[in-house]
């Protein structure tokens, strides 16, 4: 089976390898030509323009987008939709906002092109060796592409949820949970670090990965991280975020849900971006005003 693959970043490239290993004929395109050459050397056909990719695929075409969420997706759609035909299928495997995916579905549908929104979890290794896929789109067409999902995911690792947008919505919530779990783990180690005991964190994460209630992939990764550096000495505690956690909190606000753990996980990430805060200055100044408490001064 033939599949077009647009976007050969960390995730896309590894997905390409995964597809090739499952004997797909992959036609690959990326704005960076060296990424295309790299996947060609692994067995893919290369395309150096979107139009070339479309022309190389026989119809009905299946094209998988693995590009950064936002404008990049719209740029590709702008280029590719006019070239596609009724019955072709577009799959957005990136981290798009589910509302964008719903809008894009309708844009594609006008051309007779079917659009699937696919949340992809499992990180880079998952993309390579077996991902976790949450899928939204049209139920009547899904069976024709179901084998792809079955091939590139781990066993039981895909779920067709139904409504358009439901795949990316599910991925957004997944990431919200992920933020909460990571912050929970991190707070636990913060407390260990301040404890009167002298723990070997790698061994802590290891024992918690074997038989405990909190065992899981994140704990295994924690073990791996501590195996590399026992106290993460070289790493700064700056916690970046890439959008889905924020969307999850915004969604909580929109549906009037109380989701303090997800919200605070995100806000602690924001806090970590700052060396000092204006809020802190205000509290320090107020303590001085009413209680005469000393403030710490910048030199």
Q: Which of 4, 7, 16, 122 binds a second copy (CB under 8 A)?
A: 122
Active site residue 171: yes
Least distance CB 243 / a second copy (angstroms)? 11
Asked if 31 interacts with a second copy (CB under 8 A), we say: no
Task: Round to whole Å and give the CA distance between 231 and 288.
Answer: 37
Residues 68, 59, 95: CA angle, nearest 5 degrees: 15
Task: Determine, following the binding rule CB under 8 A, whether residue 189 of this chain makes contact with a second copy.
Answer: yes
Of the listed pieces 25-33, 36-44, 86-94, 206-214, which binds a second copy according to CB under 8 A?
Answer: 206-214
Q: Map the footprint of a second copy across residues 214-273, applying CB under 8 A.
A: 214-219, 221-222, 224-225, 229, 232-240, 242, 246, 248-253, 255-273
From residue 102, give the alpha-carbon distance in Å to each of 99, 120, 132, 187, 226: 5, 17, 21, 37, 41
Tell me the closest approach of the beta carbon of residue 49 to a second copy, in angstroms.
Answer: 28
Measured from the CB of residue 290, what is the shortest distance to a second copy in angstroms?
Answer: 4
Name 160's bridge partners. 135
Q: In this chain, which of 3, 54, 84, 131 binds a second copy, going by CB under 8 A?
A: 131
Per DSSP bridges, beta strands 45-47 and 62-65 are unpaired
Complex with a second copy: residue 96 or 209, whichever CB lies closer: 209
Task: Considering the candidates 25, 178, 206, 220, report the single residue annotated as catalytic.
Answer: 178
Query: Please, are residues 222 and 231 in contact by the beta-carbon 8 Å criterion?
Result: no
> Is 33 tagged catalytic?
no
Q: How far apart are CA 190 and CA 207, in angstroms?
A: 17
Residues 167 to 186 in contact with a second copy, rule: CB under 8 A = 169-170, 173-174, 176-186
Q: List Cα–Cα distances, 72 to 1, 49, 100, 175, 229, in angstroms.
A: 26, 15, 12, 21, 36
198 binds a second copy (CB under 8 A): yes
Min dist CB 240 to a second copy, Å, is 7
CA distance 208 to 215: 6
Residues with a known catalytic role: 171, 178
């Amino acid at each position: 089976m033939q599949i077009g693959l647009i976007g050969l970043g960390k995730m896309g490239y590894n997905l390409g390898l995964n597809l090739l290993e499952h004997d797909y004929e992959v036609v690959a395109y990326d704005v960076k030509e060296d990424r295309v050459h790299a996947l060609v050397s692994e067995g893919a056909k290369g395309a150096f323009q979107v139009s070339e990719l479309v022309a190389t695929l026989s119809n009905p075409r299946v094209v998988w987008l693995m590009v950064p969420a936002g404008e990049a997706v719209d740029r590709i759609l702008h280029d590719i939709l006019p070239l596609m035909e009724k019955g072709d299928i577009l799959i957005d495997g990136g981290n798009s906002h589910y509302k964008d995916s719903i809008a894009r579905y309708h844009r594609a549908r006008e051309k007779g092109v079917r659009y699937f929104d696919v949340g992809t979890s499992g990180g880079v290794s998952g993309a390579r060796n077996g991902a976790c896929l949450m899928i939204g789109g049209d139920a009547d067409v899904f069976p024709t592409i179901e084998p792809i999902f079955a091939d590139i995911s781990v066993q039981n690792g895909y779920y067709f949820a139904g409504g358009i947008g439901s795949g990316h919505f599910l991925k957004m919530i997944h990431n919200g949970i992920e933020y909460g779990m990571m912050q929970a783990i991190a707070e636990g180690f913060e407390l260990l670090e301040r404890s009167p005991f002298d723990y070997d964190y790698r061994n802590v994460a290891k024992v918690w990965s074997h038989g405990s209630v909190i065992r899981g992939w994140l704990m295994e990764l924690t073990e791996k991280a501590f195996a590399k550096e026992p106290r993460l000495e070289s790493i700064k505690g700056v916690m970046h975020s890439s959008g889905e956690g924020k969307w999850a909190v915004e969604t909580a606000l929109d549906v009037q849900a109380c989701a303090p753990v997800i919200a605070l996980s995100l806000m602690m990430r924001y806090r970590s971006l700052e060396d000092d805060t204006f809020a802190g200055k205000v509290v320090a100044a107020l303590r001085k005003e009413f209680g005469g408490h000393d403030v710490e001064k910048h030199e």
